[in-house]
Every structure is written in C-alpha cells, then in structure tokens.
Homo-oligomer: A and B are copies of this chain.
C-alpha cells in the first residue's frame, strides 16, 4: 500500500463515495479533499457540502463546470461527428477528462499527492480518470477503492456506513433504482439490473430524461441552429452559450422522444456490456452538424474526417483525451471547421430528428453547376468522358491481361 499524504476524491455526495471518503482516510491514514462538480447531471451539488462536512472533510470543492464541459469537451468532440461503434455518443466518456483535470488541479492547489474515484475495476471510467491523472501529473498516486477493498456488495457498504456512522441519505429516488446510472449535460446512462440480459427490452420507467416517442406530442417542433466554425452559437436566432444550447436541446429533444439508444458496447477492459443512453440534445447536434458540414465542407476533407472518426472516438472512449495523439487529431479536426458556419433547420417529431433545410454564406453547394436544367456552360459534360476513361485505365489494363473482375 502506497504511502499517501492527501487525496482528492471525486465525490458525488452519494453512498458509495461517502463510504470511500471514510475508507480512504482510515485505510491510508490521510487527509481527504472532496471535489463535487455540477456537469449538468440534474442534481443539486451544494448538498454535497454538508455531507462532506459530516464526514469530517476540511477541504471541500464544489464547482459548476457546465460551461467548461460543453465548450471545451462536448463541442470539440461533436466537430468530428464522433460516434462509438456506430451508436454511442460518448456521454460518459467525454465528462471524465474534465473531472480528471480538476482532480489534478485541486491536488496541485491543496498539496495532495493522490487522487481517488469511485469507479469499479470492471469499467472504462477508472481508465479514463487514471490515464488523465497520470498524463497531467505524472507522479500522482491513485486510490481506487473498488479495486482494493472487500466491500463488494451493497449490504457490506451499508454495514460499513452504520459502523462508521456515515450519515448517508438512502431515501433519494436515485439510490433505489435497479440500474447503475450516470448523468451529465450530454446524457444519462443506465447499466446492470435486467439490462444484463441483452435479449430483454428495457422497461419504459427506466428512462428519465425523455418521453417515449409514443408519449411525445402529435405536433412537430421546428428548431433552427446557427453554427460558427463548427459550433452552435444560436438557437432559433437567439445567441446562447454552449451549456445553454445543450440544456435547451435536451429539453426540446427529450420532450419529443429523441435520443434513446439501447446497445451492447465493447469496453476497453475487454468485455461486452449492455448500456442504455438518453442523449436528446447530442442526437440533435450530431444530425445538425453533419447537415451544416454537408454544404460547407470540401468532399475530401469530409471523407478524411469520416475515416479518422472511429479512431478519434476510440481514443475518447478508452480514456485518451489527454494524450498527444488526441490533441494532434483535434488540431486537424478544428482546422477543418473554419468554414462550417451557417444555419440548419430541423423538425423534431416523436423520436425523429429530420433535417429540412440548411444554408450558409460559406456554402459550396453551387446551384448553377448542380442543376439538372441548362447550366450555361458552368459544367462541361464532355469532361466526364476523360475522367471516366482515365479512372478506368488500370481496370481495363488488368482485364485485358486476363484478370477477371467477377
């Protein structure tokens, strides 16, 4: 066991991290600093202060990081149309690097030599927290109680609370859920419980952020998103900060039954896991971003982005936000967004995000050339013959040498 002086703990105020706070201070005989962040999870963070104080914590950090989260993490990620394994919008993955960064910064401020978190040894989050911490503070120590202790069941945790007089409030609705959940402004996730059988349909009352498509209004909602350099800067013509944009899109998206997915994903630690996610605003953002890119981005730039996106998504999923390769890719992605400005008009209806219009001063859509009508010489159709013949040349040579293409 490492010799540790002071630990900064990612503290939610809930049962698990309260037990962890106590367990660390006892086990390592060290000071614990708690850090609680509002990332838009939809719960008050201020109550964590009293809980931490009740645990005897002296240094308590409680912060509203919503704007930083969306501006510096969610928005950059959406510039790449990022999606993991064809389905997952990386809602949990993208929040972890910000938490890792603040843990390290607080450690530096408070003279702590370790950080701690409440993620299990089976999941991706431990990796994301720790890779971030090591990248940002190479000598840092990490305490991951779920990998260390023997409090493996809910019952043993509760016993520990009782024994150590930890005043955790077990009456909150969240705690009674049969699912393991995580939320921030980008999404809410559900795991375990009956989801551990991938053949079983998730129950309707699991979902918390969105109504079902069935329960959504019979009238569509139209929304116009204005982009500047790849980021949404206004909704329906009204300028908004990043977190305000996402909050708004979550609201209208959720009301229209948008953004639920139910998938089996491949974890970095080697296993498959079932997860259900609600990402109302993100689902709208992905579709809209592709739409604004469709008229403003060069074809080859768009295709290059598409071919690199799976790698970029994998880096974020696996916890490599704070790696040089992610930053290197980000440079390229951000550079590609120079002209991605304009407006997208969307129709939201019972789970559907339908692009119905897009316009931009930077549009590369050229009606004179694209038209099926008379184009006044904008495009010489005869050029196509040479284009095709030279593109065919290698195929013709091969065929003439007797290689069959069938």
Contacts and interface: CB of A to CB of B under 8 A. Distances in A.
Contacts of A371: 192, 196
A389 B197 CA distance: 25
Contact of A399 (B138, B325, B356, B365): B138
Contacts of A310: 303, 306-307
Contact of A357 (B200, B364, B383): B200
Interface in A360-386: 362-367, 369-374, 379-386
Contact of A198 (B263, B311, B358): B358
A388 B130 contact: yes
B306 A85 contact: yes
A115 B370 CA distance: 26
Contacts of A389: 134, 380, 383, 386-387
A391 B131 contact: yes
* Copies of this chain assembled into the complex: 4
B307 A311 contact: yes
A298 interface: yes
A16 B387 CA distance: 24
A271 B388 contact: no
Given A134-B392, A384-B269, A306 B198 contact: no
At the interface, is chain A mostly helix, strand, loop or mixed? Answer: mixed
Contacts of A386: 380, 382-387, 389-390
A1 interface: no
Interface range on chain A (Cβ under 8 Å from partner) = 35 or more
A398 B364 CA distance: 6
Contact of A304 (B137, B260, B325): B325
A135 interface: yes
A345 interface: yes
A260 B85 contact: no
Given A263-B355, A294-B265, A374-B152, A392 B131 contact: yes
A345 B369 CA distance: 45
Contacts of A359: 198-199
A386 B383 CA distance: 4
Contact of A135 (B81, B202, B399): B399
A350 B272 CA distance: 30
A323 B391 CA distance: 11
Contacts of A101: 406
Q: Which 4 A-B pairs have the closest CB atoms?
A: A386-B386, A121-B381, A270-B393, A266-B299
Given A127-B388, A146-B381, A350-B352, 6 more contacts: A122-B379, A264-B295, A299-B394, A300-B324, A332-B332, A384-B386
